[in-house]
Amino acid sequence: MEKRRIGELSVSLVGLGCNNFGIRLDQKRTTEVVNAALDAGIDFFDTADIYGGTHSEEFLGRALAGKRERAIIATKFGLPLDEQRKGASPAYVRRAVEDSLRRLGTDRIDLYQLHRPDPTVPIAETLGALAELVEQGKVREIGASNFSVAQIREAEAAPPPGAPRFISIQNEYSLLERGVEADVLPECAARKIGFLPYFPLASGLLTGKYRAGQAPPEGTRLTEPKSQLRERFLQEGRLARAQQLAAFAEKRSHTLLELSFSWLAARSEVRSIIAGATSAGQVHANVRAIGWHLDADELGEVDRLARG
């Protein structure tokens, strides 16, 4: 498994998103998926306090019991768990990290990420609290998610020289969601900030399971009764582009999944491709999917098809 750098961390190019833990997976199945990931060379596990109503962190911590040294754990804080537990104030940063450490059953978080900007708290105050955690050894590196270029620049200007800074940005990015290419990706490259794409498979649309003109398969994230993503991703135009991309891959004896992963891996700004999995089989498929090294002509054709 190829490794890439996020600050002082060296992480597997394929990561495991843990948002299924505690929702679609119980503890037993979570442990099976985590063990499959470790055996396949994945060492980067990305979770959040809010995933599974805090159960994702708990399940991940139990699954890694006795294997903590083999894992790089990334988690997030800031989205509201309730009226008291939310935001990015220094007081809440200190509370949130202790809660996550306890749930994860560890003495340190490798990458601690602000889940989204908090407009009610100056970013300098949040960074100051995070710097304390780094100094105390509770956190190794810090990052942010869902930040715009303006917010990245504000965060870069806030800490004094030598103080910890955000070394990663985690925003949405896939073949079908390209907004970050206009500004966030170049900004990350210029500032040597690692980029972590979430929804790299467009919430499953780029797995090849969904086809234009066909009923979507049952039992998937986009067909769940409470899914908030169905209308966004299962649009006719997106389905058509996904089908064209699948045909491109199939002509070259590859799958849409392999194209989606390998296309992201071709971007040097991308440090780990974080995708969820609900079985060992999906973990192994994700790892195999980065094996296609697209040449310049292929990348150009994929770009044309993806933009429609």
Burial of 83 (0-12, 13-18, 19+ CB in 10 A): exposed
Catalytic site residue 51?
yes
Q: DSSP letter at 25? A: B
Residue matched to tokens 């990420």: 113
User: CA dihedral defined by 118, 98, 57, 267, rounded to 10 degrees?
Assistant: 50
Question: In the beta sheet, which residues pair with residue 171?
Answer: 197
Neighbour-count burial for 199-219, b at 16+ CB within 10 Å, e otherwise: bbbbbbbbbbbbeeeeebeee
* Degrees to nearest 5, angle at CA 81 with 219 and 195: 70
DSSP state string for 77-89: E-S-SSSSS-S--
Instruction: Extract the tokens encoding 10.
Output: 């060296």
Q: Indicate which residue of 51, 92, 173, 198 is catalytic.
A: 51
- DSSP sequence for 147-196: --HHHHHHHHHSSPTTS--EEEEEEE-BTTB-GGGGTHHHHHHHHT-EEE
CB atoms < 10 A from the CB of 61, how many?
A: 19
Residue 170, SS3 per DSSP = strand
Interatomic CA distance for residues 59 and 31, integer angstroms: 8
Instruction: Give catalytic residues, as residue numbers.
Output: 51
